[in-house]
Structure 1
Amino acid sequence: MTQQVTFKRLWLVSERDGAARKIFLDSQKILLLGTNGTGKSRVSKNIFWALGCEPPKRNAGAWDPDAIAALEFSLGQRTLVAIRAGRAQGLFDSEGRMLFGSSNHAAWSNFASQLFGYRLKLQRPSGTAYHLAGLDYLTVPFYIDQDGSWGASWATFTNLGQFSSWKNPVFASFTGQRPNAYLEAKQRRNEAIGRLTTSKKELDAQRKAFRRVRETLPKNLPSLDLTTFRAELVKLASSAKRVQQQQVRVRAALLALVNGRQQVQAELKLAVGSHQELEKDLTYLSNIPDSTDIECPTCGTFHRTSFHARLALITDADSMAALVAELNKQLDGARKREVEIRQELREIEKEVLNFEKLSQEKKARLKLDEVLASHSKRTLDRAFREVSQTLTHKVDELQEEVEELNEIVKTFEDKTRLKEVSYYYAAKLRHLSEALKIPEDERVDETKLGSRPASGGSSGPRATLAVHLALLATNVQYGDSVRLPFVVDTPQQSGQDENNLRRMIDVMQQHASENHQLLLAIERLPAQTDISSFHVIPFPKGERLLRKTEFGDAVGALRDMLRILKAKVLEVDSEAQTTESPSAETDSSREH
């Protein structure tokens, strides 16, 4: 079942300006009404920025680039809050529990694609691998941005160029020509084909391997004293186990020692720095007469110089010098012990090499592999039957799975269905173009999904609106992607006259608000425009979007989520650094 998204509340917070704003969006139709420069576009841009998208010119003008945006929205029956602060992106449930937190945009893109059920994968311009497209591409038909969406090309977000040739697959997926069900079935089929190919290769490799082994076994093989051979194997295994345990113990000791040495080095660095600071303070005080008031640059408190103060500083400096000497002594001891343990580890590695040499020694003028070969033929055929039987059964199951998924994929590749979707889109676009009074010679090409108007003048914006509405209608009829609100900022483009502007508003109400929440930003209303069904949010001229009076409440509402998000980002970054550290230490050990 297609899920519906409804925006509920938007918080915008600027710590720099000490101002914030909470805007209620929980109405089916919302009108942001105000002249230029009052903040309407800030609202629409930050709605999608909070979801991880990159609308153009979000930070234009005097806007705080570090401003925080949080969007509360419903997804089906769930209420969620998406919060973004710089690179940090988080998602919380209605109880304030964090569902996602990271400063990695790719991680958020993958998570959000799964959350919204958007399975489309696209290809990078410089690579062959495919990656989940993310919300920037899912939301393109739902958002008309004032700065990026009214022109001749799709530039709703600044990062749409991260994938090559994205338009055809995005609009085919959105309109239902290649819906999520098709993408999921195709992905599952391709994965099954990959597993099938691997299993077939594995089965073929097993056949060839067994055949080669059987052909290479000697014809006349010696007999083997199994009792003696078993005893030697037990002895060899016991010795090898002992050396392996010793190797593990020594490696653990080396790791602990290296960690301890690094800790001492860090403490020594801090102690030396503190000692140097004390020496500088002592030198500074020595040049100032007693009973002189000195203001602390940190807290602003005044302190009076005295002989006792200098004496205390000298004592602290001597104590810190003693600590530096002690830490240097500990560091020298740790380095000496590390050399000894590394030498012990090298000795153990020599023993391991001796075991490898021993395995090649002859017993009664025979190599170990020659002795084992005398018992291979008896078990070779039985082993092949067991292995091949399992692999053959697996191949048959995968083949059946691939055939079933092929049938599902074929239902979406049916030419009749593809034509039906294209015809529906073309008919909707034609009807909308007529409703918006777009001259026939300035209308958009109906035969290609997502075509943009090439004409300028007042017809261009109306043709752009017609394309978006036709895409939304086709999505409702044939698509299976989540339905987001339709956000338009602002239809007053290219000098729309009163009649055309009123016509654009009426058409949006008729064709978008039934299946989508509608959010419209506009500078002025033409005469006789019926907005009785809209929740109007005024943006008075001369007032700033963010208000200092709302700062405290907004910070209080978001404080816990921001604290949890920042802690999670620090944790993830710390884990990433820790992951890199062992490899660096290993390289250092190899150099020694």
Structure 2
Amino acid sequence: MHHFRFENIWLLSHREKKARHVKFHPRKNLLRGRNHTGKTTLIRSLFETLGATPHGKLESWDDNAVCLLEFSVNGEHYFALHQDGRRALFDVESNLLISTSKFAEWSKRFCEVTEFNLVFSDKSESKVVPADPACFFLPFYVNQDGSWQSEWNTFDGIKRFSSPFGPILEYFTGVCPPEYYRARAQKSQDAKVLEEHRREYRLLERAIERFGRTIPLTGPKVSADNFVAEIAQLTKEVNELNAHQEKVRSVAVKEQELVSSLDHQIRMADEALAAYESDAKYLRAGGAAPLICPTCHAEHEKPFLDLLQFAEDARVLRELAARLREDSAEVRRRCQTAFSELNSLNENYLRISRLLDTRKGDLKFQDVVGSIGAEAAFAAFDSERKELQSAIDAAVLTVNALEQKMKDLRSPKRTKAILAEFRDFYVAGRIALQLRSVDPSRMKLTARPALSGSGGPRSILAYYAAIWRTAQGKTGTYDIPVVIDSPNQQAQDDINLPAVLQFIAKDLPADMQLIVGLETPTDYAFDREVHLEDKFAMLREDEWEAAQLTVEPLLEKMYSAMLSRPAR
């Protein structure tokens, strides 16, 4: 099982010269504060920094604020930096791993670091696309704006995938674990190799058939000793011909490309010169109205110096056009020479043809070469056929083994056991949250409850908790922090709210990291509590200097890398 943990977060506003640093406990964390004190801002920053944008908007928040998040994957620490869509990732030694403003590049690197290999079909069902950070956190974040209802609205943009919620839940609960997707990816690669081998085999069979019709294995079976000198001469002639032909062909291709480039430059120069002539005629026209700026509508005179400079530009352009035409003529001449030389190579081919017509008694040299060549060709064909068949057999065995592994990982028996465990957890959660018992026998992983009134949020919480407990079980794949903001939904009364808080504080898996945003104090103990007291003032002046010393060096590295990257 992979373990992911939030370690530290720094938030900075250069506009306000304020900052906030929060260190997270590996177990239970409570962020306590009234409305507008920054709980949601701090929680949202955890996910936005890593490329998952929660549903909803923040009020009175500096959109250009910087967030640095330290997180760990299986004990290995990383730092993620985010400012207004630009992100960078650093290792524990502050070495830059990636700096980008492109979401796809960031998402790919995040999935590599976390080994998150879930894939979907796109909306058109035409290709396979990888999941992103929002998919990684979706089952483990309950936010105020989109998670407490009967639909999945936690993160923006996740519906760009085709039916993503089922595969996400199956991935984390173990119905379709990472091993399944690794086997699927490997099978896809091996299947392509197998198909390529089969395609080559079919081509080889057709080549053998055509070759057999053209050059049958009949004719003279003689020694080539009488033709040793002719063979040596033939070899020499062919090698010289090939070398010379390749050299001349390369020159001809380069000259053709240069001619095309010069023609394009000449056309551009001619078009620019035509525009200059038209503009110069207008500027010299007597009694013409002054020039008016199309933006600010200011009037500009046409002084003599401007006209003179304009004429000078036209003169330089004319000289350039003339030189380009001279260069083009010279290159065309060289190109024609190269093509003439290629045509002259036919004489070499005629000499080789005459050599093949050489006779020794009743046999021509052509006959001996053809007979020996046919025997060698058929032998080579047979050897190639055996090698391809061996490769095909090995690839078939590999693909079949991977198919069986995928079938075992998603067997009906395994799926049934995981669903039974999930349903039991859901029923137990409903009872603990003081909801009536239900029959879960037909309940699916994606079946979010749709109760109205105060029972709605509690049934949603029981549903999420069943997913978390299943993911933490023996078939689970990832241990990811659970973040709840905020459990007091739809006016829970003085009986139900304590039950909700007790369920969160005591009934959830003890080993997972928990971050809860709450408006009021609670009697239940958390390993670390952070109190947010001032409205619209979550950042503090007294933390600015220390946070700046931590964040600024990484921020400079991120922008230096972006500025040094060549424009594309």
Question: How does the TM-score come out when normalised to structure 1?
Answer: 0.77
The answer to whether residue 533 in structure 2 is matched with residue 540 in structure 1 is yes
Map of 1:34-183 to 2, 5 A cutoff? 34-58=33-57, 60-183=58-181
- Aligned pairs, how many? 515
CA 219–173 in structure 1, closer or farther in 2 if over 3 Å, else same: closer
Identical amino acids, percent of aligned pairs: 24
Post-superposition CA distance 1:180-206 (Å, at most 9, x none): 112212222232223222212221221
The answer to whether residue 554 in structure 2 is matched with residue 561 in structure 1 is yes
Q: Match of 1:79, SS?
A: strand
Contact 2:217 2:371 in 1 (8 A): no
The answer to whether residue 244 in structure 2 is matched with residue 239 in structure 1 is yes
Query: What's the offset of the Cα at 1:499?
Result: 2.6
Map of 1:10-409 to 2, 5 A cutoff? 10-58=9-57, 60-217=58-215, 225-243=230-248, 246=251, 335=324, 339=328, 342-343=331-332, 346-347=335-336, 350-351=339-340, 354=343, 363-364=353-354, 375-409=372-406
Rounded to whole Å, the distance in 2 between the matches of 1:120 and 1:355 is: 61
State which of 459, 464, 469 in structure 2 corresponds to 1:468.
Answer: 464
RMSD across aligned positions (CA): 3.8
CA 483–360 in structure 1, closer or farther in 2 if over 3 Å, else same: farther
Query: What's the offset of the Cα at 1:50?
Result: 0.6
Question: Which one-letter code corresponds to 1:495 in the other structure?
Answer: A
State which of 448, 472, 484 in structure 2 corresponds to 1:488.
Answer: 484
Query: What's the offset of the Cα at 1:502?
Result: 1.9
Rounded to whole Å, the distance in 1 between the matches of 2:396 and 2:49 is: 45
Rounded to whole Å, the distance in 1 between the matches of 2:148 and 2:348 is: 76
CA 19–328 in structure 1, closer or farther in 2 if over 3 Å, else same: farther
Task: Tell me the residue number matched to 1:550.
Answer: 543
Rounded to whole Å, the distance in 2 between the matches of 1:71 and 1:65 is: 17
Rounded to whole Å, the distance in 2 between the matches of 1:354 and 1:511 is: 88
Rounded to whole Å, the distance in 2 between the matches of 1:480 and 1:348 is: 73
Task: Tell me the residue number matched to 1:525.
Answer: 521
Contact 1:29 1:513 in 2 (8 A): no
CA 451–379 in structure 1, closer or farther in 2 if over 3 Å, else same: same
Query: What's the offset of the Cα at 1:326?
Result: 12
CA 359–124 in structure 1, closer or farther in 2 if over 3 Å, else same: farther
CA 566–242 in structure 1, closer or farther in 2 if over 3 Å, else same: same
Query: What's the offset of the Cα at 1:139?
Result: 0.8
Question: Which one-letter code corresponds to 1:50 in the other structure?
Answer: T
CA 418–383 in structure 1, closer or farther in 2 if over 3 Å, else same: same
Task: Tell me the residue number matched to 2:443.
Answer: 447
Rounded to whole Å, the distance in 1 between the matches of 2:518 and 2:412 is: 42
Query: What's the offset of the Cα at 1:97?
Result: 0.3
Post-superposition CA distance 1:303-322 (Å, at most 9, x none): xxxxxxxxxxxxxx9xx99x
CA 249–353 in structure 1, closer or farther in 2 if over 3 Å, else same: closer
Rounded to whole Å, the distance in 2 between the matches of 1:339 and 1:125 is: 51
CA 573–48 in structure 1, closer or farther in 2 if over 3 Å, else same: farther
Question: Which one-letter code corresponds to 2:91 in the other structure?
Answer: D
Post-superposition CA distance 1:342-371 (Å, at most 9, x none): 43663366258537867876934999xx98
Post-superposition CA distance 1:477-507 (Å, at most 9, x none): 1445332211100011111123322222221
Question: Which one-letter code corresponds to 1:482 in the other structure?
Answer: Y
Unaligned runs of 5+ in 1: 266-316, 578-592
Rounded to whole Å, the distance in 2 between the matches of 1:248 and 1:552 is: 63
Rounded to whole Å, the distance in 2 between the matches of 1:78 and 1:326 is: 66
CA 342–548 in structure 1, closer or farther in 2 if over 3 Å, else same: farther
Task: Tell me the residue number matched to 2:301.
Answer: none
Q: Match of 1:73, SS?
A: strand
Contact 2:501 2:524 in 1 (8 A): no
Rounded to whole Å, the distance in 1 between the matches of 2:192 and 2:551 is: 46
Contact 2:135 2:158 in 1 (8 A): yes
Query: What's the offset of the Cα at 1:400?
Result: 2.1
Question: Which one-letter code corresponds to 2:183 in the other structure?
Answer: A
Query: What's the offset of the Cα at 1:41?
Result: 0.3
Contact 1:66 1:86 in 2 (8 A): yes
The answer to whether residue 499 in structure 2 is matched with residue 503 in structure 1 is yes
Rounded to whole Å, the distance in 2 between the matches of 1:51 and 1:35 is: 26
Q: Match of 1:83, SS?
A: strand
Question: Which one-letter code corresponds to 1:521 in the other structure?
Answer: G
Task: Tell me the residue number matched to 1:415.
Answer: 412
Unaligned runs of 5+ in 2: 270-305, 358-365
CA 126–330 in structure 1, closer or farther in 2 if over 3 Å, else same: farther
Query: What's the offset of the Cα at 1:245?
Result: 6.1
